Structure 1
Amino acid sequence: MHERHPPAPGTPRRQRPRHLPDGPRLHRHSAHHSTGRAAPAPTVRQVTGWLTRHPAALSEEERAALKDVLARCPELDAAAGHVRDFGEMLTGRLGARLPAWIDAVDAGRLPGLTNFARHLLRDFDAVTAGLTLDWSSGGTEGAVNRIKKIKRQLYGRAGFDLLRKMILLQ
């Protein structure tokens, strides 16, 4: 093991901020403590999970925590609305709504979502078809990934004949 040496005198120590400005302490877990204290702030990963999951998949505690977080940040609330709308388009095959969704996101001026929406315009017809049509290329993509995996495993070991046999046998 490596020994940890103290910094040289006069070297500033890097400290992690223990409090948010005007906010609660940051903790890794969002469960209430048995001491009766307020629940700690949720992590970014937790909030992202709450935003990207279907609302019916959230527990009552998660719904309440998400509602609290969204009430504190109007920008995040707007982003959550756009994410929900995109999820509806995706699951309901509602590709016809895509232009209106892109316009709404662009008007909202939320940097991450605005860039995402603008990149969708690069291949608008394909994205609209993906959000509208029932068929997908998922099976083909899975087969291609399986072949690539086999190819990586055999790299430098054998020729095409063995590769062909491995692909046909698996």
Structure 2
Amino acid sequence: MTYRTVKQFADATSPEALFTGQWQSRPSVLDDLKTYLDDRWSEGCTNAWKLWEDIVPLGYKGSYQRVRAYLHDKRTSPRPVTARPPSPRAVAGLILRHPETLTESEQLQLKTVRTHCPELDALTRHVRSFAVMLTERRGERLPEWLDAVRQDDLPGLHTLAAGIDRDRDAVIAGLTLPWSSGAVAM
């Protein structure tokens, strides 16, 4: 061992500092595809074989082992702890329930979902305004509600609005008048 090697070991401030030299900055055949792999990893695809199969058609000529080694660092690095997003069923339940019946935790969860998804925010506004129209018997507001629905990019609600339009007078009457036909016995 030469004096230079001993001094390099002695002066190192971290183990990484020992890994310097001609091989560390050498380009890899994977360099051009690392951004793609990082994006796919962030989307939840963590299977090295699947990712290798994805990049071969993109021009990757390297081995599966090199892809696996690159992903190994991602697997072993500590990940930030994040809460699991609520299921679609849970979100639907939060949107459809009366706001006053939601616990503080549920209100916070719905607020977070609405903040991260403008479509769900718009949907929540429309569902809640329709519920108010229904419970307060404010059928005269239906045309304005239908116009508001059509202004947002929510195809499911557009279908509902088209169906309501076909029977607009009956729906307005149902949302306004205090009586109903109720259950009919035969």
TM-score when normalising by structure 1: 0.61
Secondary structure of residue in 2 paired with 1:138: coil
Q: Which residue, out of 43, 46, 53, partners 1:21?
A: 43
Q: Which residue, out of 127, 141, 147, partners 1:103?
A: 147
Residue number in structure 2 paired with 1:129: 173
Identify unmatched segments of 5+ residues in structure 2: 1-40, 45-80
Residue number in structure 1 paired with 2:164: 120
Q: In structure 1, how many angstroms separate the alpha carbons of the residues matched to 2:42 and 2:135?
A: 37
Q: Which residue, out of 117, 134, 138, partners 2:182?
A: 138
Q: In structure 2, how many angstroms separate the alpha carbons of the residues matched to 1:67 and 1:20?
A: 24
Number of residue pairs the alignment of both structures matches = 111
Q: Does 1:62 align with 2:106?
A: yes
In percent, how many aligned pairs have the same letter?
51
RMSD: 2.0
Q: In structure 1, how many angstroms separate the alpha carbons of the residues matched to 2:112 and 2:91?
A: 11
Q: Does 1:50 align with 2:72?
A: no
Deviation (angstroms), 1:135: 0.8
Identify unmatched segments of 5+ residues in structure 1: 1-18, 23-36, 145-170
Structure 1 runs of 4+ aligned residues shifted over 6 Å read none
Supply the AA of the counterpart residue of 1:106. R
Deviation (angstroms), 1:79: 1.0
The one-character-per-residue Cα deviations of 1:70-95 (angstroms, maximum 9, x if unpaired) are 00001110111011110111111000
The one-character-per-residue Cα deviations of 1:22-53 (angstroms, maximum 9, x if unpaired) are 8xxxxxxxxxxxxxx44321010000011011
Deviation (angstroms), 1:20: 7.8
Bigger Rg over Cα: 2
Deviation (angstroms), 1:114: 1.0
